[in-house]
Amino acid sequence: MRNWNRRRFIAAGGAAAGAALTAGAAPAHAAAPAQQADSAEPLRIVTGEEDFVCPSTAPPGATVFQVTATSFRTGFLGLVRLRDGHEESTFRELLYALFSARTPQETIEATRGLMATAELYGGAAVHPGAVAYITPVLEPGSYLVLEYRDFQGPLGREPEQGQEHVRTLTVTEPVTATDAAAATGSSATLSTRETADGPRFELHGQPRAGSPVRCVNHVTQPDEAIIYRVPDDSVTEEDVHAFFNSDMSMTAPFRIDAPLGTPPVSPGGDIWVTMPTEPGRYVAASWVGSLEDGRPMAAHGQHLIFHVAA
């Protein structure tokens, strides 16, 4: 089985997609979560070719970050916390191993290594012109904020090793009793759950344009929810499934050039994501390699078309 992942597909066809998006509509903005209107401004993260703007400290509890990208070679923002006894250098090496894997076994081994090394808090997938907000619940300690695409070869900036966009974020104050769901006004929850057919997305509630969606991982390995617009109303789940089980010559039945959503979240974790969505159809999919055979979880059926209301 060919080892096929997001990096290899987009590296082959992403240049044209990026150019098409550059010529597109005006920037899309998500509404800031409600809690920020009455308290602090969101903490800004900007990921680009040269600059990586990121706060060095953050308050505890449900903390809102505004995420933007200024380059099509950046825009997969991650938040992680190293487990006790593990070094940042090891985490970086495992990311390179994961994104350069050429066999299913290499993908599985690198994924297991990451699970042992760090807790993944998700993040934001954005592109130039899009503004997203994420609301992780933070405890005191040190975290890493990073640009995943820096570790993905031609898909990213291809910096010298050690020069990747990675910054330390320190949370120092005691945690207060913050209800993140109430703070963000979440109207929908997108969960990953184990089923007889393998991991699947479940959607509870009605996603609304520009409103927060809570993403929860209930399976036993890291998983993500990358969200794409589906502009053609005739596209079905079968079409999406065929795409994820095809070679890289097939045209994606969704806007693969404009990803939203969250990169991987560790088992048991969750994050609130506010995306610049508009009313219409979207699909959630996971490119994370399965621990069973290294293929994308979406190739096993973990994808879900849903409707965003006004």
Q: Do the beta carbons of residue 65 and residue 133 sit within 8 Å?
A: yes
pLDDT of residue 247: 80
Tokens, residue 34 = 């409600």
Average pLDDT, rounded, for the chain: 87
In single-letter form, the type of residue at position 69 comes to A
| 12-16, 157-161, 186-190, 229-233: segment of lowest average pLDDT | 12-16
pLDDT of residue 13: 35
* Higher local confidence (pLDDT), 67 or 176: 67
- Residue 186's pLDDT band, with cuts at 50, 70 and 90, is low
15 domain-assigned: yes
The enclosing H or E element of 223 equals strand 223-229
The count of structural domains within the chain is 1
Q: Kindly report the backbone phi and psi dihedral angles of residue 134, in degrees, each rounded to the nearest multiple of 5, phi listed first.
A: -125, 150
Alpha carbon distance 9, 11 (integer Å): 6
155 domain-assigned: yes
256 domain-assigned: yes
Taking residue 227's Cβ as centre, other Cβ atoms within 10 Å add up to 27
pLDDT of residue 36: 42
pTM of the model: 0.86
Q: Do the beta carbons of residue 142 and residue 60 sit within 8 Å?
A: no
CB neighbours of 65 closer than 8 A, spacing ≥ 6? 42, 43, 44, 45, 58, 124, 133, 134, 135, 136
Mean pLDDT value across residues 60-87: 97
The enclosing H or E element of 240 equals helix 237-244
Mean pLDDT value across residues 122-139: 96
Range of the domain at 177: 6-308
71 domain-assigned: yes
pLDDT of residue 233: 96
How many helices and strands (H and E) does the chain possess? Answer: 5, 20
1 domain-assigned: no
Q: Do the beta carbons of residue 193 and residue 200 sit within 8 Å?
A: yes
| Sequential DSSP letters for 30-61 | PPPPGGGGGSPPPEEEEE-SS-EE--SEE-SE
Alpha carbon distance 208, 215 (integer Å): 14
Nearest alpha carbon to residue 133 among 201, 192, 62 = 62
| 109-123, 144-158, 172-186: segment of lowest average pLDDT | 172-186
CA torsion sign, 151 to 154 to 156 to 160? positive
Q: What digits encode the pLDDT tens for the residues 255-296?
A: 999 999 999 999 999 999 999 999 999 999 999 999 999 999
Q: Kindly report the backbone phi and psi dihedral angles of residue 203, in degrees, each rounded to the nearest multiple of 5, phi listed first.
A: -115, 125
Nearest alpha carbon to residue 141 among 167, 168, 118, 164 = 168
Q: What digits encode the pLDDT tens for the residues 8-51?
A: 444 333 333 332 322 333 345 565 564 443 457 899 999 999 99
62 domain-assigned: yes
